[in-house]
Amino acid sequence: MKFQLDEHIKLDQETNQYVMDKEQVVRDNVEKDHWKIVLRTILKDWRLYLMLVPMLFIFICWRYLPMYELLTAFKSNLNGAAVSASDQYFNGFANFQTVLFGGYSSKFWMAFRNTFVLSFYGLLFGFPVPIVIALFFNEIKSNAYRSVLQVLTYLPKFISIVVMTTLVWLLLSGANTVVGGSAGVVAQLLAKLGLVEKEVTEAGMMYNAQYFRPVYIISGIWEGAGYGSIVYFAAVIAINPTSYEAAQIDGAGKMAQMRYVVLPAMLSTIVIMLIVRIGSLLSIGYEQVILLKTTYTEVTAQVVSTLALDWQESGLAFSTVPEFVNNITSMVLVIGANLISKKATDTSLY
């Protein structure tokens, strides 16, 4: 005769008798209490959770639903046009073969190289700047002066990308490209310092391929460094004042306090932000690139996102492949960086 035993009853192998599994009972009770606490917290703070609904809606609509169209990287149709994934047939890795090793491989690898170079130098020179700004803000004793400087450094982040790039064009414009025949202020200054040839200032730095990368990187740092310092400054002001007092008693000066008190307190934040930046190492948006590049600078300005956009506008069915490869590479980078960080500093994203 078969019958169903209670989940809390188990057979004792020594006595060959059924006994109560007390550990299982405790685990089940703890799990039930946990979910009761979670539900009680949600009901208590329902207004805060309600504020998450628009964010979740945007995230689902703009992050998860578009993932369906990633299937177009593995599909094609008879006329080669880029249409919806539902209207195409599966062709395996033929699109990847065409993009990575076929007739379009030279364009893809050029864009991939440019993407990596721009991102790497942006990380190398741009990542320490917000940290330095946060340390600088921490040393300012006047709250009013510090507030003014914070507003000035945060402001570029809230300026339209179109306005920002237009300003860059005006500052670096050539004498032959503007009405009045006067080069941009920054272009003239660089020419006076001997950093740029006079012929370049006349034609315009934005029309010279070798200057696109420094212009892109420096303008990106100027735009986001102040805003990026917020999270580091929050970590600095959270340091217990007694830590500074103990360091002063031990005879530590400002630099010693920064080395042995401030930077160790910021380490976990720095590591987390570094992992996030490494994860987005190959994720360059097309807006700033499109607004800054010209046909003369395409050899150094063409990145994966703009290449995919060009192919999509041309109706090529494999236009999804570059971004797909880019995203897979970024995922591998963030997982690798997270593992290294976990081994080295015991700090990780997950």
The pTM for the full model equals 0.78
Of 326, 286, 322, 320, the C-alpha closest to 82 is 320
Q: Which of 34-38, 144-148, 223-227, 270-274 has the lowest mean pLDDT?
A: 34-38
- For residue 330, the model assigns a pLDDT of 86
Average pLDDT (335-350) is: 81
Structural domains of the chain sorted by starting position, each given as residue range(s) with its CATH number in brackets: 22-92 (no CATH), 104-345 (1.10.3720.10)
Does residue 181 or residue 186 have the better pLDDT? 186
- For residue 320, the model assigns a pLDDT of 82
Q: Is the pLDDT of residue 8 over 60?
A: no
Mean pLDDT of the chain: 82
Rounded to whole angstroms, what are the CA distances from 329 to 24, 93, 263, 322, 326? 43, 17, 31, 11, 5
Q: Is the pLDDT of residue 131 over 90?
A: yes
46: Cβ contacts below 8 Å, ≥ 6 apart? none
- For residue 132, the model assigns a pLDDT of 94
Q: The tokens of 172 are what?
A: 């670096």
Average pLDDT (145-174) is: 89
- For residue 181, the model assigns a pLDDT of 60
- For residue 77, the model assigns a pLDDT of 57
- For residue 1, the model assigns a pLDDT of 39
Q: Which of 22-31, 182-191, 259-268 has the lowest mean pLDDT?
A: 22-31
- For residue 78, the model assigns a pLDDT of 47
Structural contact between residues 332 and 281, judged by C-beta atoms closer than 8 angstroms: no
* Percent of the chain scoring above 90 in pLDDT: 26
User: Over the stretch 199-258, which tens digit does the pLDDT of each residue have?
Assistant: 777 777 888 889 999 999 999 999 989 999 999 999 999 998 898 889 888 888 888 888
Rounded to whole angstroms, what are the CA distances from 28 to 10, 23, 34? 15, 9, 10
- For residue 75, the model assigns a pLDDT of 74
SS (H, E, C) the chain: CCCCCCCCEEEECCCCEEEECHHHHHHHHHHHHHHHHHHHHHHHCHHHHHHHHHHHHHHHHHHHHHHHHHHHHHEECCCCCCCCHHHCEECCCHHHHHHHHCCCHHHHHHHHHHHHHHHHHHHHHHCHHHHHHHHHHHHCCCHHHHHHHHHHHHHHHHCCHHHHHHHHHHHHCCCCCCCCCCCCHHHHHHHHCCCCCHHHHHHCHHHCHHHHHHHHHHHHHHHHHHHHHHHHHHHHHCCCHHHHHHHHHCCCCHHHHHHHHHHHHHHHHHHHHHHHHHHCCCCCCHHHHHHHCCCCCHHHHCCHHHHHHHHHHCCCCCCCHHHHHHHHHHHHHHHHHHHHHHHHHCCCCC
- For residue 80, the model assigns a pLDDT of 47
Task: Give residue 20's pLDDT band: very low, low, confident or very high (50, 70, 90).
Answer: low
Average pLDDT (8-33) is: 59
Does residue 91 or residue 158 have the better pLDDT? 158
User: Over the stretch 68-121, which tens digit does the pLDDT of each residue have?
Assistant: 777 777 877 544 444 555 556 677 788 888 888 888 889 999 999 999 999 999
Of 202, 140, 213, the C-alpha closest to 176 is 202
- For residue 204, the model assigns a pLDDT of 79
71: Cβ contacts below 8 Å, ≥ 6 apart? 85, 88
Does residue 231 or residue 313 have the better pLDDT? 231
- For residue 152, the model assigns a pLDDT of 92
Most confident of 124-128, 139-143, 174-178: 124-128
Does residue 237 or residue 63 have the better pLDDT? 237
